[in-house]
Amino acid sequence: MGGGDEYNSLMISVLFIVSFLLSMSLTRQFINPSSWLRVMDHPNERSLHSVPTPRTGGLAIMITFFVASVAAVLLLDLIISPILLLCALAVMAISFLDDCYSVSAAIRFGVHLAVAVVLVTNGFQLTALELPGVSWPWHNAIALLVSSLFIVWMINLYNFMDGMDGFAAGMAIAGFSCFALLGWQAQHQSFIIANLIVVSAVLGFLLFNFPPARVFMGDAGSSTLGFLVAAFTLWATVDNIFPFWVALLIFSPFIVDASVTLIRRLFAGERIWEAHKSHSYQRLVEAGWGHRKTVLYAYLLMVLCAASAWWAMQATIFFQLAIVAGWVGIYTLIIIKTGELARCHEHQN
């Protein structure tokens, strides 16, 4: 191995270790009662927590991500789009303002849409509908619309799903780790390192967020992680690292729960923009599973989804279709059983 390779390997290792330590240190600082960035999340009737808890842990994740990404570009000569980083910064900024001052939904969605359009018009877009063995090219206008809506949906979807100790952090670690693994298979160093920076930053935060959580990531963390899921997915499709449907499978524990819950609430005539406790994970916690048991089973589901996505990339089209069909069946069963358990608990009380 040449001296340059040894230097790069050493710098990459140092980068990940420093990212983890920086995130851990910042999270610890934001928990400190003396911290001026210690914004509290006070429980209400729709919360799963019962005591006021700091919700600025997401700042630790995102500050670490930005610092480490810039360091990677400068020290390792990687290519991480500055537009992507600036858009992520905009999402974090409006989300942190919402954490502190409750910004109106219209302003938040306006910023989300503007960020999506900026990213998509700078080359991050789905140019075709991709399914196992099938790719249907789209007109540019459709590509712009679908890609922008995907970004806005993932920003808000991830925020919707951040309602249980260790949940959103666990999904980020499983999902971005699988992204990095697929990037390694495609020999795309910039994509690998960008994803592992996210993993390192979230790991430092999870030390304090695993149930019982001492800190939450807040909208600044969850919304920006959702943006990064969408942005990295589009990055992967543009650079042919993996197809769009593989990313959907990896993050399906969040995508399925949020989407099914949204549809259920629409049919029930509920105000979908209001806070609620009808996600599957919330119903399990309320039914007596508690945070720890629910999140550990969720971690198992996340790892299995990531592993099946990795396997699908090595499999024939027939087995890819079989994997997708298998997960449709598994999620259908999970939704049915969760509903039965929740109804049983309601009848007992």
pLDDT of residue 275: 63
User: Which amino acid makes up residue 145?
Assistant: L
Rounded average pLDDT over 96-120: 95
> What is the band of 12 on the pLDDT scale with cuts at 50, 70, 90?
confident
Rounded average pLDDT over 56-60: 94
* φ/ψ of residue 131, rounded to 5: -130, 165
Q: Is the pLDDT of residue 292 over 70?
A: yes
Rounded average pLDDT over 259-273: 78
What whole-number distance in Å separates Cα of residue 3 and Cα of residue 7?
Answer: 6
Strand ranges inside 6-133, DSSP E: 40-41, 53-54, 128-131
Tell me the whole-structure pTM to 2 decimals.
0.93
Closest CA to 38 of 22, 23, 52: 52
Q: Is the pLDDT of residue 38 over 90?
A: no
Closest CA to 193 of 89, 299, 309, 75: 75
Rounded average pLDDT over 264-288: 75
